[in-house]
Amino acid sequence: MTVRAGDGLGTGFIVREDGWVVTNFHVVRGGGAIVVTLADGREFPAAEIVAASRSRDLVVLRIEAHKLPVIPLGDSTAVRPGDTVLAIGHPLGLEDTVSDGLISAVRHVHADFDVLQISAPIAPGSSGGPIFNAQGQVIGVVTAFLKSGQNLNFGVPSKYVADLMEHPEPISMQLFEAALNAIEREGTASVERHVPHHPDALLKGCTLPAKLLIAKSLSEAIELGAPLYNDGKVAACYHIYDGAAADLGRRLPATCQGPRRALAEGQQRAAKLSDPSSQAWAMRDAFDGLLELLTRGAR
């Protein structure tokens, strides 16, 4: 099924026969009336928001329909790298496109949040679509893709969908739209930066190849994450930044302790924050602090 909000287009799937539909938070964030189009062509406006999580990029909405076919949720905690997956979505408006791939990794963003990295091709319009395991159960929800990331695609594990369903907090569409407007005002507010100023000694023990690796990795992460943030996919941006920091920390040689420590401190600071926008900026501050140090050292 398709989910439209204003000019935005996404995908969704039915989790209860009485009209509960799951999609991404960023799909419905665009403003305007939310309209769900079923596979048989019937259209329904969203009647209410059953539950939502901005930080996990998920929303469960309800339409006034009954006896709908339900897609079962699987156990996303049982997912392992190498498992086969299928993703269904509407890339670029091409309805019900099926793509297959593998679970590339299960990324532990922080103690309360994981994401699934998948190799199944994803394109705009597929956000909010189901990711199936080999048993035909939904183990994830498509949330983001990276245009220049060599087929790097991400999904939110289904365990977070189950959590929303078990703890519904229904609100009217009017209240939800008011909350979205507040988020947009928050997004246009100036951001207070906390970019650390590192001493030159932080690079002690870092070889030239290690310094080049830091500069390349952080620059690429910003290049990939910043457009996601600007598109309103702030949680996805944070996932990219946190994953890049973790990967870089593992790849740096043991002698390059300063940057590894600075990245870990940035991750710890971000993990303590509850808002994904603040988390993304906390990681960006950590990145910019290291990039400024490298630039200073190159003068």
Local structure of 62: helix, strand or coil: strand
Out of 104, 126, 127, 217, which one is annotated catalytic? 127
- For residue 119, indicate whether it is catalytic: no
Handedness of CA 27, 30, 31, 36 (dihedral sign): negative
Q: How far apart are CA 16 and CA 18, in angstroms?
A: 5
Residues with Cβ within 8 Å of residue 160, at least 6 apart in sequence = 53, 56, 58
Identify residue 69 by its one-letter amino acid code.
P
* 167 assigned to active site: no
- Of the residues 26, 158, 242, 285, which is catalytic? 26
Q: Degrees (nearest 5) of the Cα angle 47, 23, 78?
A: 135
> How close are the terminal C-alpha atoms of the chain, in Å?
55
What Å distances lie between residue 95 and 65, 88, 118, 237, CA to CA? 21, 9, 21, 26
Q: Is 75 a catalytic residue?
A: no
Using CA of residue 90, residue 93, residue 95, residue 99, what is the dihedral sign? Answer: negative
* Residue type for position 103: I
The alpha carbon torsion through 284, 286, 287, 291 (nearest 10 deg) reads 130
Q: Return the HEC string of 192-222.
A: CCCCCCCCHHHHCCCCHHHHHHHHHHHHHHH
Query: What would the two tokens of residue 278 be?
Result: 């603040």
Task: Exactly one of 53, 55, 57, 239 is catalytic; name it.
Answer: 57
Q: Would you please indicate which residues are annotated as catalytic (active-site) residues?
A: 26, 57, 127
